[in-house]
Structure 1
């Protein structure tokens, strides 16, 4: 029979306390990392250009994707030459996607949010368009 003065009981209680605190801190750390990676809005802004395409695609999760061709030219890589500036994005909202889909080729000002990571049900890119500001 063991008593509360037994050294084995004290070691066992100390290890349990350490383990429980370690697990709590680990879960909080993992939760904070997941929030930062997938749900924290890293940046937001507006991109303008001509809508090249808007499509619904995906194997398991059907997501809305689009590409905006921005005016001007830039170099994708040093020494490669001139290429057009492209903004590839995803859309979560059905009504925004349908507006883009029927107006392909027009000039748009799109408000977007940028995340650190990609969730498969949110889209294929880190850039999520959440508002059409202007269409010409």
Structure 2
């Protein structure tokens, strides 16, 4: 018995040197083209592949739409007020808060709690004042007992540098003022 792992079909799996030499000779010889083959080759060389351009346009368009959508969502949440209203009551406390970016946090008892004698007072109406002049006006009216009307804007989201609440006073009008 011979070697169990030897077989006579090595030429099937491995090419001989003779075959490799013939292949190299074929590659080195100039290829004769028919006029149709030549025209087809020239068309392939001159034709611009538009599928990659379309893919690029679709990807860029998708990214632009995504950025635009996220920008609109952020603007609606943090910079566009979803409530513009006013509240009447008495200002209890005005205090300046913040280490770097100062805001004025104000607590007010709403008129609906002042008029209600049945239910206990739960919590005040809190809002933020950004301007110094409006904060000075609120400080003058603090604990005087005068009723005021606070016009404010309420946002859906809070940003850390804008204060503790999502309500921002735009105007404070004391009773008797116009």
State the TM-score, normalizing by the size of structure 1.
0.80
What is the SS of the residue equivalent to 1:64? strand
Comparing both structures, which one devotes a greater share of its residues to strand? 1
Residue number in structure 2 paired with 1:77: none
Residue number in structure 2 paired with 1:78: none
Q: Is the 8 A contact 1:56 1:63 kept in 2?
A: yes
Is the aligned partner of 1:16 residue 2:56?
Answer: yes
Q: Distance in 2 between matches of 1:94 and 1:118?
A: 20
Q: Is the 8 A contact 1:111 1:132 kept in 2?
A: yes
Q: Distance in 2 between matches of 1:3 and 1:19?
A: 26
Residue number in structure 1 paired with 2:71: 31
Aligned with residue 141 of structure 2, among 79, 95, 103:
103
Q: Distance in 2 between matches of 1:105 and 1:3?
A: 85
Q: Is the 8 A contact 1:4 1:10 kept in 2?
A: no
The verdict on how the C-alpha distance between 1:133 and 1:13 changes in structure 2, with shifts beyond 3 A counting, is same
Structure 1 unpaired stretches of 5+: 75-80
The verdict on how the C-alpha distance between 1:85 and 1:22 changes in structure 2, with shifts beyond 3 A counting, is same
Displacement of 1:28 in angstroms is 0.9
What is the SS of the residue equivalent to 1:83? coil
State the Cα RMSD in Å.
2.3
Residue number in structure 1 paired with 2:82: 42
Give the number of the structure whose alpha-carbon radius of gyration is greater: 2
State the TM-score, normalizing by the size of structure 2.
0.63
Q: How many residues align?
A: 127
Question: Which stretches of structure 1, 4 residues or longer, exceed 3 Å deviation after superposition?
Answer: 2-6
What is the SS of the residue equivalent to 1:31? helix
Q: Distance in 2 between matches of 1:10 and 1:45?
A: 55
Comparing both structures, which one devotes a greater share of its residues to helix? 2
Q: Distance in 2 between matches of 1:33 and 1:116?
A: 11
Structure 2 unpaired stretches of 5+: 1-43
For residues 106-132 of structure 1, give each alpha carbon's deviation from its aligned partner in whole angstroms, at most 9, with x where no partner exists: 322111111111123322211111101
Report which structure shows greater RCO (CA 8 Å, sep ≥6).
Answer: 1
